[in-house]
Structure 1
């Protein structure tokens, strides 16, 4: 976001062993310190960070020999400091499917499991096998399977307070090709398209598969149209991406929102089957279809809530250097001279407006240091 003050001290780790050594040294001092990847999902106060900052600058990927994998799968180990979008680009080039819809997400691979990154119908949890984790309690690296990480919508045990450092992540991707025509030969294809906007962009029905490169290109175009691809010339991209997560509420609560409020079900509705005895059916007893559980959880659109609360695209407080993106209501942007306090002031206004209008408390998605909402 190009805001915030300096760190007290910068330490850089370029190899896995160096990352372990520097982290252990910092833990042994018992002082507070900050682990930082690309910084794209971080907003620091104008006063800066009052302690050491450890920069993760490891890189590299390798194929892991895993006899438990079936044919057509590849297990890939990626160092924590590897650029995420560069990883996606390489996987697409090699014909490995599973993260192509996560193109254009800024940041580094080690941060991906922290909030279970996701976009356009794919999430990291779909392909994450495990991570190598340096435990802050034991100072020892250990492998944690994806099932141990409590991965949910933009959430994990890492985000909820498990202390340590992600050293690397292991992904299981599909290594498959289909013959699209006699002239083109084998062409690597994507996983099934699960997001309506992406399906529309590539001109196919939901559930279809298309060439990996087509998905990557479409996703990058969609993200750019929303200011979600970093561009030094586009102030709409001077942001931390989506500033708030989409709220998750009960279906009962969602029904009280105004007509037209977008809702997205989480998982399958669990409904008890309608049961009648044969004698009851023959006697004409009507079949009553039970209603869905009123406590079923659904996801709301934070962008819709923000705009309907009176904060439109391009909204800017008088004299502030921060504004809502002109392309996407969910992004708070730096128009060139914003301070961290400008960002915080606008974010607080949005939270207040949405809560007053709809009774929904928006939760920030970026990591905030020294900024209170």
Structure 2
């Protein structure tokens, strides 16, 4: 455990490249150091924030109250079992490096989650998912340092209430998490890849990129390469030379609304019926080519929940790719409507002002308030 004599500004540590320095900055290189450090902060009732990869964070320009703890814990343990492999991964490991490791060692289950930035510890907090795979399908448990009890506990995934980009551990729009805790490690249940092949391809865009049919299995390396290429085409793989990649990924989550509200939208609006609000993520094409029909609601049925496409709502609210407010150094990505980018020298206020404008336009046009996905530090939308 060490304390930096001069706290670094968060613009140097986040993919949005905005944010001032905290009052204190500390670093933990293993789980024991992290536990000791956080226990001291909590005992002193000092404001605290744990920062991993910094890929899903919007921090205020004038600094952060209290201490920022840099999580730099490392380690991957493997336990081979008869039909599966259990990986116990420290929370500070880089997520994409973990995916690369599983592909190289012939394990299937997270290959379609290639290229997602950030740390392993952040993955269960928002139940990451992409291209037909979701963390919840392979997550067995997490080790937490619980804020209320101060104890280290291993919690099964079933107790995390994993939903669409959410869990009991996630702060929503700056609000406290339902369960205040820090992820120390995660347990993933993966499968040995038979003949080096992936799980069945479950996402139409990925299938097209691979030139295969849905349900086909292909070499793990090909899936990873195709996913990385798709993400790069949308500016979702960080590239220092490409300002479109200086973002927090998708800034807004796809809204989940009642089918009554969904019926007020134009017929071409992409939508997908859900059994419950925490159903698995579903891909929503912007052209409305799939999932646009909502079955009639029975008189005695519970209201049906419907997931909408935030990207479609933004574009139909007259906010195109590449849009920027006059004089602002923040802008909508030229590749992906959901990404708010730092075009060079943007401030947190620039990003926040653009986010508020997008929210106001969508709400005025459709009556729907988009919810931000990043963790907000010292700033409100």
Give the structure-1-normalised TM-score.
Answer: 0.89
Distance 1:74 1:202 in 2: 27
Instruction: Specify the alignment match of 2:357 in structure 1.
Output: 349
* 1:108 to 2:119 alignment: yes
Query: In the aligned structure 1, how far is the partner of 2:21 from the partner of 2:178?
Result: 25
Q: TM-score, normalised by structure 2?
A: 0.87
1:60 aligns with 2:75: yes
The total of aligned residue pairs comes to 340
Aligned to 1:75: 86
Alignment-derived partner of residue 288 in structure 2: none
Measure the CA separation in 2 of the matches of 1:44 and 1:205. 43
1:294 deviates by: 7.1
SS of the residue aligned with 2:221?
helix
1:72 CA displacement: 2.9
Counting only pairs closer than 5 Å after superposition, residues 294-333 of structure 1 correspond to structure 2 as 295-333=303-341
Q: Is structure 2 residue 152 aligned with structure 1 residue 141?
A: yes
Alignment check: 8 A CA contact 1:252 1:294 kept: no
List, as ranges, runs of 4+ consecutive aligned residues in structure 1 with deviation greater than 3 Å.
Answer: 289-294
Q: Does residue 335 of the first structure (1) align with residue 352 of the second (2)?
A: no
Question: 2:227 aligned with 1:212, yes or no?
Answer: no
- Closer, same or farther: CA 110–44 of 1 in aligned 2, 3 Å: same
Distance 1:294 1:202, change over 3 A: farther
Given that 2:253 and 2:371 are in contact with CA atoms closer than 8 Å, whether structure 1 keeps it comes out as: yes
Confirm or deny that 1:33 pairs with 2:44: no
CA RMSD of aligned residues (A): 1.5
Give the corresponding residue for 1:162: 179
C-alpha offsets along residues 239-290 of structure 1, whole Å, 9 cap, x if unaligned? Answer: 000000000112222122012101123359xxxxxxxxxxxxxxxxxxxx98
Q: Is the 8 A contact 1:251 1:298 kept in 2?
A: yes
- Higher Rg of the two aligned structures: 1
Q: What does 1:1-373 correspond to in 2, within 5 Å?
A: 1-64=16-79, 71-159=82-170, 160-178=177-195, 188-267=196-275, 293=301, 295-373=303-381
On the 8 A contact 1:251/1:294 being kept in 2, the answer is no
Q: Distance in 2 between matches of 1:252 and 1:205?
A: 35
Unaligned segments of structure 1, at least 5 residues = 179-187, 269-288
Secondary structure, aligned partner of 2:40:
helix
Runs of 5+ unmatched residues, structure 2: 1-15, 171-176, 277-294
Give the 3-state SS of the residue equivalent to 1:201 in structure 2: helix
